[in-house]
Homo-oligomer: A and B are copies of this chain.
């Protein structure tokens, strides 16, 4: 399979959501035009994205919604579950322990860690907050695949270093900091202010 760009992967995730919506409504077949409209892109883009993985659709019939959803999920590795650890039991970290979209897509939160003695031992949505100092042992015990960093910006790199040391190969970073990690580790960034800034841009440039 060809190397797929980050933006194609991101659109794949969007297609899954749109297909879910259609399946819930009982829609069995969908055209690239409809998918394009739902996701605010061109039909040519949709067809180009799908062509990376071979042609799924039939001219004149469109794509079968359930088959297409399953195929995209397989491409993204969503045919299985992933064990997830959260570092940082602040507002965001705590909210993510019970985030419906994670559960639905197979991201199972197995572990939440913090370094604050006042937080360690407390319970959040059925999980006990564990001591981040025991990260190596905990990551091994819970067979963690993906770690989420939800600590303040100035601790993010230290936390990332310790996660890498514990064997973690995939990190989602909520701290507003670019992280340095070895080349065999993937880091993705999540910052909810970024989309707000796009709205700020929109409001500032309206006629």
B95 touches A201 (CB 8 A): no
Residue A162 lies at the interface, judged by CB distance under 8 Å to chain B? no
What is the interface size of chain A, counting residues whose CB is below 8 A from a CB of the partner?
Answer: 67
A203 touches B92 (CB 8 A): no
Per-residue CB contact flags for chain A residues 30-66 toward chain B (1 = under 8 Å, else 0) read 0000000011000000000000000000000000000
Question: Taking each of A13, A95, A197, A205, which has the highest tally of chain B beta carbons within 10 Å of its own beta carbon?
Answer: A197
Asked if A203 meets B170 with Cβ closer than 8 Å, knowing A13-B191, A178-B21, the reply is: yes
Asked if A191 meets B21 with Cβ closer than 8 Å, knowing A92-B95, A205-B77, the reply is: no
Number of copies: 2
The segment from A98-106, A110-118, A135-143 that touches chain B is A98-106
Distance in angstroms between the alpha carbons of A130 and B198 in the assembled complex = 27
A202 touches B177 (CB 8 A): no
Chain B residues in 8 Å Cβ range of A82: 196, 199-200, 203
